[in-house]
Amino acid sequence: MSTVSRVARRIEAIPFLDKRDVSLLFVLPGLFVFAAFMLFPVVYLVGVSFTNAAPANLFAGDGVASVLTFGEATFVGLQNYVDVLTDPTFWNSFGVTWLFVATSVVLKIGLSLGIALVVTNDRVRGKRVMRSFIILPMGLPAIFTVTVWRGIFSSAEFGLVNQALSALGIGSVAWLSERWPAFFAYNVTEMWLAYPFMVIITVSALQDVPEELHEAAKVDGAGFFSRLLHVTLPSIKRPVLFASILTAAASFQQFLIPFVFNQGGPARANELIVVYGYREALSFSEYGYGAAVSLIAVAFIGAFMWLNVKRGRLADGVAEQ
């Protein structure tokens, strides 16, 4: 008899336990792990956001109990949320973040669709090798990739992009010292980090498009671009839209790129919302304020994903299954 079977028999032997509820006991370890590592941090973050928590008062007192009760931090109600929503720096960060999401998603979809069309074309040879190289960025540590791209976009003349511009007779650009050049560098790096995931989804969707649809379109005299517009894109719309929502959420939470490149500079002009919350919490020691920023960000990205799933009808049929 296995160990699980013996445990199950002993549980069933408990006199006051309903036999129908025995199975619920087996999920308790998973629920405990979820509560300890997922639910509790979120609840604690919500609590901190209603206080003036800082290193000086949050960890004041003796023992873990004082930390769990927010130490000597004072309850301030919604003051942190009011301060965040009336801070011009927050709204600049908020606007830059959504602009970054929009531009990076467009770039990722365009690049991924182009690559996917190439590696699924019957006329292309060596597609397996190409696909192996395409997913290579997924196997590299993100911090390593971002650091390499920071060197590529270095404002110095030895930066790879500046060397290419010099070879073309164009002067060097201070990529990380000016707002929009730095924003462009963020987008290119984000596109590189995320395109393998988008390519995988797009290739899978393209392979599921019935060949009969293309054949029928060819019989009607449709060319490549006409088939792409009227056959291919409508057929892959839902999976690509789903992948785009996921990668948009990842872009909204992007931290490494702006922080490693120039910490959201120059002068906080390109400070994405996660970097803004991090700096307020850890650089300026405003834990309560930073917690409020994080929860506001979660609310906005949650609403964004819910609206896109509803409008894209991506959940159709789930309730019936």
Q: Which amino acid is at 291?
A: A
Q: For residue 321, is pLDDT > 50? A: no
Q: How far apart are CA 79 and CA 292, in angstroms?
A: 10
* Structure confidence at residue 317 (pLDDT): 47
Distances (CA, A) of 178 to 155, 183, 262, 264, 267: 9, 9, 10, 11, 10
DSSP label at residue 117: H
Asked if residue 177 lies in contact with residue 266, where contact means CB atoms within 8 angstroms, the answer is yes
Least Cα distance to 95 among 268, 266, 260, 241 occurs for 268
Flag the least confident range among 51-55, 77-81, 119-123, 257-261. Answer: 119-123
pLDDT in tens, 136-163: 888 888 899 999 999 999 888 788 888 9
Domains of the chain are 87-285 (1.10.3720.10)
pTM: 0.84
| Mean pLDDT calculated for residue range 210-221 | 77
Share of the chain above pLDDT 70, in %: 86
Per-residue pLDDT tens digits for 258-267: 999 998 888 8
Q: Determine the average pLDDT of the residues in 164-169.
A: 86
- The reported pLDDT for the residue numbered 320 is 45
Q: Residue 103: what pLDDT?
A: 95
Give the single-character DSSP code of 286.
-
Helix (H, G, I), strand (E, B) or coil at 172: coil
Q: Which two tokens stand for residue 78?
A: 């919604």
Residue 224 has pLDDT above 60, yes or no: yes
How confident is residue 104, by pLDDT bands cut at 50, 70 and 90? very high
Q: Which of 225, 215, 251, 240 is nearest to 116 (CA)?
A: 240
DSSP 29-87: HHHHHHIIIIIHHHHHHHHHHTBT--HHHHT-SSHHHHHHTTTTPPB-TTHHHHHHHT-
Q: Are 193 and 107 in contact (CB under 8 A)?
A: no
Question: Average pLDDT of 118-147?
Answer: 82
Highest mean pLDDT among 19-28, 128-137, 225-234, 293-302: 293-302
Give rounded-to-5 percent helix, strand, coil for the chain: 70, 0, 30
Return the closest-CA partner of residue 262 out of 202, 194, 178: 178
Is 112 within 8 Å of 119 (Cβ atoms)? no
For position 139, what pLDDT does the model report?
Answer: 83
Helices 88-119 and 179-207, packing angle to 10 deg? 40
Residues shown for the chain: 321
Helix (H, G, I), strand (E, B) or coil at 317: coil
Per-residue pLDDT, averaged over 111-130, amounts to: 82
Q: How far apart are CA 25 and CA 195, in angstroms?
A: 43
Other CB atoms within 10 Å distance of the CB of residue 170:
10
When the pLDDT of each residue in the chain is averaged and rounded to a whole number, the result is 82
12-42 pLDDT, tens digit per residue, is 555 545 555 556 666 777 777 777 777 888 8
Q: What angle do CA 108, 110, 115 make, to 5 degrees?
A: 95
pLDDT of 135 > 60? The answer is: yes
The more confidently predicted of residues 2 and 177 is 177
Question: Which residues face 51 on adjacent strands?
Answer: 75
Average pLDDT over residues 70-85: 88
pLDDT at 7 over 70: no
Backbone angles phi and psi of 89, in degrees to 5: -65, -40
